[in-house]
Structure 1
């Protein structure tokens, strides 16, 4: 036997060992092999040059068994071949390959919760591409992860192939979705001040209950754990537990993988109150007295970091108004563990001279950069104020355009500069609202409105509304540009068309009009709107009192309405001053709103009048944090000029002002008219108060309650000559008669939108008033 023959036999044995067990081949003593030709067999789509590039073996030189094994591994790891074999045959190295088949179709079986098109976006295996077992397994894992994110941890996904002709396969993912792995129990260890039930209401993650079909937060999501820890920390620290911390969170999966048990291990610590409160200035020439007046932390009050933060924001706002840059408000806290008090000092210190180099915005796929940048009072080159950057981020969140807004700073090109990174996540800004109302006299009414708050990504608002009832129809279109001419000017254009065809009244109405206005700020919380309105209001089909031949009864409406029928144009200019403390947001507990306006008609048209309105409202959680108190007061007056009398469509009806009464259900009436139609009034006032509070049900059910009490009146007519029951005309009583009603509300946040049920009872009313004891509203969003 020659040495050449020995070498060929050894290489053949090594090649066979390499296919079965590459590790065994490495352990085999190396033998040299020389080849001058390479013959490739089995390839159909892959070019020989590609195979040779992976082979990467020299011709005419000694090749070791290890080099052959490495070449075979390169071919196998290329992902192009199902099998690879290297066979030395004399001076020729034979490379036998079997290519992976081509995917004909990708299909899904067994999926009900996720649609095929959604799954197709997840997998990377696609038709007309080479099948890869590794990629198919990765796709199966990705599908399983999506199901796990929906709480279906028991879901299994198995990739299968069905071989077809022409070296093609169908790739089928067999899916067993399984049941939702719900959180059966959430427990706490270390809590003494609050019960487990109270703490469960704080968490974003919820425990499965009887409404588990509608609750989507009763499945375990690891990404929610940090949020739950923060919510618990904020809950405790806002109640005086400054040392509170979450020590551990232990989620445990049941053996059957059908339930989770989560335990929060917490440390409460003692409950602190505020002790001595001081304000000092460490900046020459800056007096601390004026800043101390901005303090909202009270001695003896329970420790709450929100009070400290509010005071800091007020002091920093004062510093900005005074033109003081690079001023830091540093809260210095001293613990008195024996008395369980915290002494607090607000120190005004000089911060580093740092400027904003640039503001980078990412994540806005729809919203234009300019819409985001105009929420920042800070621009490139301004002194860097971390508080102002955070306030700008809050303003961005308040727009409702984004589900998440993050604004962070990082070092710039020099130590004196920083770069502000703004990352936003878009969310749907369109809303579709449906409303339902019911009244004994008006029957069922429906309304629908389509609203887009971020039209074409420009921050513009477009609203289209349509409502219909038993005898009314209304429609309107509104367009708002919040940054007109690139400045802080809010331009508004509005058009409407409303008609009534009343079955229970002997008159109909039609109003069509257009309004345009511009609004601008006059203070931090105050704004003024200037507007112009042109409308045509028509009262028609007013039936004169007469004897009906069929029923032999008097029919018809009041002579007051009969005299007012016809169409008239109103051309008016007006203004409104509004104040809203929520704009600055310096008091998170209580907010105040005020509106006062007047419209002057007579700039052309048929009507000459002055219409004045006033609104004042307050909303507070100062009594208890989970109880919201609301109070609203409204007043309106119409004063006619040039000896004109007011008309029905100029006057106030009180609709929507006082709960417990039907539309047009209160105010002056001509009781001697057969129909006793509502006449409206030149004046109205309304006082509404309300409490909203939890009902003790688990928070995840989304059901809360409320109590309300309303009072008010509609009164005053220029013409009080009513119908004539006998020989003399009857004067209509248009005096200020107080109406009052009380009621209860149920608020329910459902998957189809928030619902509100109102149950009302009129306590003080006139005999002719029309009550509304039940009202339902519903709103949904897309």
Structure 2
């Protein structure tokens, strides 16, 4: 076995000198032959009657002559002979070349590179052969080239660097075979992972190191370093972190923020990195005066001013300014004002740390979109990409709209890379928009597990495709089961129904549940198609139809008269229509951790005549961060009403709010109950009936524990208050119905959050402040959900 390269990328000194020696020897041979002539002859020209090729086996003599560029009888100089030598060497087909004039004959002697017999990889355990082979240029039945093999070694080493194994070494070797063939072997020493031992910051006074580390994609090595892949040093990830860090500060009004530099120091043992970000935070600026001006005769500046949502006194962010420009240009388009552009002018006031924003409405150049060209999409249909554009061929060209389109294409998640650019068209007043994409896998098969103290262990199998048949549709098939339940569900969504901004969705599910907390089993069959669309920048409206059957099955448990009657009605179907309305203030991805969300849903059932009711639910959630983003405050209010016009509700129709909606209680631990006793006063059945009305308020705070972030641990406190009441029209009770009226329950508790590679764990310890006699509380709760 011949070692022709060593280390990670370079040839060994001995091998390098040998390979270089080929060229040097050839050059000296040629120049010696030429310089052996009298000095006066160097300026002379030579003509060779014969050109003879020696040493070639695979390469035709005519091919070599073509590279040399010397023909029989052609007059050449010494410099032209040297040029011919360089051209033959540059072909990459020969280990050595000699050009020797012998009287009237020019002899070109070559030694061909061997042919690659096979390529193999040895010593790799962390990366599979298939992954590494796909990187290689060296292939069987091709001419062996040391330069190509050197590049292959560098590519393999880079692949290990991306895994954090900076100490890895790749040593290419060759094994010579008969008939001028070689086997190429890449011997790999993988080495250990070079982890990031510490990430620190210099120059930050407003936000702590702990808060800034949560922003970064790169993480410090912690207890779970064998599972966490983001604690390895990757240069590209550091560049991404720099951009994310800048966006974080800019979104909070620190317009002077700069990253002065990033120092990455490798430990002497080469087993760890210490990364330091040098920052200049600057001051936080707020919005000063906001004005709109225009010299265009058909533009009313006051009308455009009224369209602005940017207000003085709020924290200045470039995103808010961009949104304001989009709103103004959108108003211009609605008014039929083409080629209108909005140019912001920012005036700085250092005295009060504010930025005055003036929006000038001007007439832009008259440029039209000539055509939109799309390339790189082999699976995704053109129409899926085209519908991200709000312009078509022939429309006025708006650079801002093109940038927003590029963001929408990237947000689809269908492409590993996407690029949208505009170039001059066939005339100066036209542009061609080029869209280049690189597709990536959009399907996934997941196997997961769940656990909670309420439902126990569970298995989840999911099959998801986000770009079904290249149409941009999503299909989600899930099979899950716990110790007492099974769920089979299928969801389908078409985001552009009939080519419009209209989402069609279909939800079908079948589930079985054994009564872990109820005294009966259930079988549920649901069919729910619907449509939804945006009615505002932050508001979405949807309508749906629903057909559902929930069977209550006797499991042999003792039940009271109300539940016994409900079980007898197991063939009831509920069919109806409804609508949903949601408002989410968090349109900025950088501010997903603060803002509020409102939602409301109403369902009108009774199309089949069995039961007629209106079921209304509403919720409001608000979240913010205080103390320089160290503490998260969250408040949620939820309520619901079930009103029957005819028929009566069952336990499975009414609201059960324990566990999920109010902590500290079992899933059906509070609300109306039917208690049946025997003659001696002993309880023979205790049935949770649920309620036709509920109201819950939850308040919680989450804060760090002061431990290193890589541990993934944080804590929280919470306070819940709520109730569920009212059972409506029921059959005669064989026992006593308790808590049919509103009675508040109150709970306080502490939480421990642990982010692990197997999923987020939440531990809740609760203490009830107010409860009723027959409520079933739960002082501890643990949940985990994961996919792997």
- TM-score w.r.t. the length of structure 2 is 0.83
- 1:613 matched to which residue of 2? 616
Q: Deviations for 1:120-177, whole angstroms, at most 9, x for unmatched residues?
A: 1111111122222222122112222222333333332221111122332211112222
Distance 1:576 1:126, change over 3 A: same
Q: Which runs of structure 2 are paired with 1:57-456 in the superposition (5 Å)?
A: 57-59=70-72, 69-85=82-98, 95-184=108-197, 186=199, 199-208=212-221, 212-251=225-264, 258-297=271-310, 299=312, 303-402=316-415, 406-424=419-437, 426-430=439-443, 432=446, 434-439=448-453, 442-456=455-469
- 1:573 matched to which residue of 2? 576
The answer as to 2:668 corresponding to 1:654 is no
Q: What is the rounded CA distance, in whole Å, between the counterparts of 1:33 and 1:325 in structure 2?
A: 73
Name which of structure 1's ranges 87-96 and 652-661 shifts more when overlaid on structure 2.
87-96
- What is the DSSP-based 3-state SS (H/G/I as helix, E as strand, rest coil) of the residue aligned with 2:652? coil
- What is the DSSP-based 3-state SS (H/G/I as helix, E as strand, rest coil) of the residue aligned with 1:770? coil
Q: RMSD in angstroms over aligned alpha carbons?
A: 3.8
- What is the DSSP-based 3-state SS (H/G/I as helix, E as strand, rest coil) of the residue aligned with 1:670? strand
Distance 1:618 1:395, change over 3 A: farther
- The equivalent position to 1:529 in structure 2, one of 521, 535, 542, is 542
- The equivalent position to 1:738 in structure 2, one of 741, 744, 761, is 744
Contact 1:741 / 1:761 at 8 angstroms: preserved in 2? yes
- What is the DSSP-based 3-state SS (H/G/I as helix, E as strand, rest coil) of the residue aligned with 1:136? helix
Q: What is the rounded CA distance, in whole Å, between the counterparts of 2:636 and 2:484 in structure 1?
A: 30
Q: Deviations for 1:310-353, whole angstroms, at most 9, x for unmatched residues?
A: 44444444444444444444333333345544333333344344
- The equivalent position to 2:597 in structure 1, one of 583, 592, 596, is 592
- 1:561 matched to which residue of 2? 563
The answer as to 2:647 corresponding to 1:668 is no
Distance 1:190 1:536, change over 3 A: closer
Contact 1:721 / 1:732 at 8 angstroms: preserved in 2? no
- The equivalent position to 1:779 in structure 2, one of 762, 782, 786, is 786
- The equivalent position to 2:770 in structure 1, one of 753, 764, 767, is 764
Contact 2:221 / 2:710 at 8 angstroms: preserved in 1? no
Deviation at 1:598, TM superposition (A): 1.9
Contact 2:194 / 2:272 at 8 angstroms: preserved in 1? yes
Q: What is the rounded CA distance, in whole Å, between the counterparts of 2:305 and 2:685 in structure 1?
A: 65
Contact 2:649 / 2:730 at 8 angstroms: preserved in 1? no
Distance 1:405 1:630, change over 3 A: farther
Q: Deviations for 1:731-756, whole angstroms, at most 9, x for unmatched residues?
A: 55533333333444444444444444
Q: Which runs of 5+ in 1 are unaligned?
A: 1-14, 544-554
Q: What is the rounded CA distance, in whole Å, between the counterparts of 1:493 and 1:190 in structure 2?
A: 52
Distance 1:528 1:244, change over 3 A: closer
- 1:635 matched to which residue of 2? 639
Contact 1:542 / 1:561 at 8 angstroms: preserved in 2? no
Distance 1:444 1:311, change over 3 A: same
Q: What is the rounded CA distance, in whole Å, between the counterparts of 2:590 and 2:143 in structure 1?
A: 62
- 2:501 matched to which residue of 1? 488
Contact 2:220 / 2:231 at 8 angstroms: preserved in 1? yes
Q: What is the rounded CA distance, in whole Å, between the counterparts of 1:173 and 1:780 in structure 2?
A: 36
Contact 1:670 / 1:722 at 8 angstroms: preserved in 2? no
Q: What is the rounded CA distance, in whole Å, between the counterparts of 1:658 and 1:747 in structure 2?
A: 18
Contact 1:722 / 1:732 at 8 angstroms: preserved in 2? no
Contact 1:638 / 1:683 at 8 angstroms: preserved in 2? yes
Contact 1:590 / 1:622 at 8 angstroms: preserved in 2? no
- 1:551 matched to which residue of 2? none
- What is the DSSP-based 3-state SS (H/G/I as helix, E as strand, rest coil) of the residue aligned with 2:549? strand
Contact 2:207 / 2:628 at 8 angstroms: preserved in 1? no
Q: What is the rounded CA distance, in whole Å, between the counterparts of 1:694 and 1:414 in structure 2?
A: 60
Contact 1:18 / 1:69 at 8 angstroms: preserved in 2? no
- 1:53 matched to which residue of 2? 66
- 1:8 matched to which residue of 2? none
Q: Deviations for 1:692-747, whole angstroms, at most 9, x for unmatched residues?
A: 455545555555544443333333224556665xxxx5455533333333444444
Q: What is the rounded CA distance, in whole Å, between the counterparts of 1:620 and 1:149 in structure 2?
A: 37
- What is the DSSP-based 3-state SS (H/G/I as helix, E as strand, rest coil) of the residue aligned with 1:49? helix
Q: Deviations for 1:18-70, whole angstroms, at most 9, x for unmatched residues?
A: 46555555644358877655555544333343344345443356766655555
Name which of structure 1's ranges 205-214 and 102-111 shifts more when overlaid on structure 2.
205-214
Deviation at 1:390, TM superposition (A): 4.0
Name which of structure 1's ranges 223-232 and 486-495 shifts more when overlaid on structure 2.
223-232
Name which of structure 1's ranges 752-761 and 378-387 shifts more when overlaid on structure 2.
752-761
Q: What is the rounded CA distance, in whole Å, between the counterparts of 1:770 and 1:347 in structure 2?
A: 64
- What is the DSSP-based 3-state SS (H/G/I as helix, E as strand, rest coil) of the residue aligned with 2:686? coil
Distance 1:597 1:23, change over 3 A: farther
Contact 1:632 / 1:688 at 8 angstroms: preserved in 2? yes
Q: What is the rounded CA distance, in whole Å, between the counterparts of 2:632 and 2:80 in structure 1?
A: 78
- What is the DSSP-based 3-state SS (H/G/I as helix, E as strand, rest coil) of the residue aligned with 1:107? strand
Contact 2:449 / 2:787 at 8 angstroms: preserved in 1? no
Q: What is the rounded CA distance, in whole Å, between the counterparts of 1:757 and 1:423 in structure 2?
A: 47
- What is the DSSP-based 3-state SS (H/G/I as helix, E as strand, rest coil) of the residue aligned with 1:568? coil
Contact 2:26 / 2:97 at 8 angstroms: preserved in 1? no
Contact 1:560 / 1:719 at 8 angstroms: preserved in 2? no
- 1:683 matched to which residue of 2? 693
Distance 1:277 1:88, change over 3 A: closer
Q: Which runs of 5+ in 2 are unaligned?
A: 1-22, 678-683
Q: What is the rounded CA distance, in whole Å, between the counterparts of 1:33 and 1:215 in structure 2?
A: 70
- 1:5 matched to which residue of 2? none
Name which of structure 1's ranges 469-478 and 733-742 shifts more when overlaid on structure 2.
733-742
Distance 1:245 1:680, change over 3 A: closer
Q: What is the rounded CA distance, in whole Å, between the counterparts of 1:586 and 1:667 in structure 2?
A: 39
Q: Deviations for 1:587-615, whole angstroms, at most 9, x for unmatched residues?
A: 955243222312222435xx221132222
Deviation at 1:108, TM superposition (A): 1.2
Contact 2:502 / 2:533 at 8 angstroms: preserved in 1? yes
Q: Deviations for 1:626-668, whole angstroms, at most 9, x for unmatched residues?
A: 35544433333333344x3323333333363333333333332
Contact 2:30 / 2:99 at 8 angstroms: preserved in 1? no
Contact 2:675 / 2:737 at 8 angstroms: preserved in 1? no
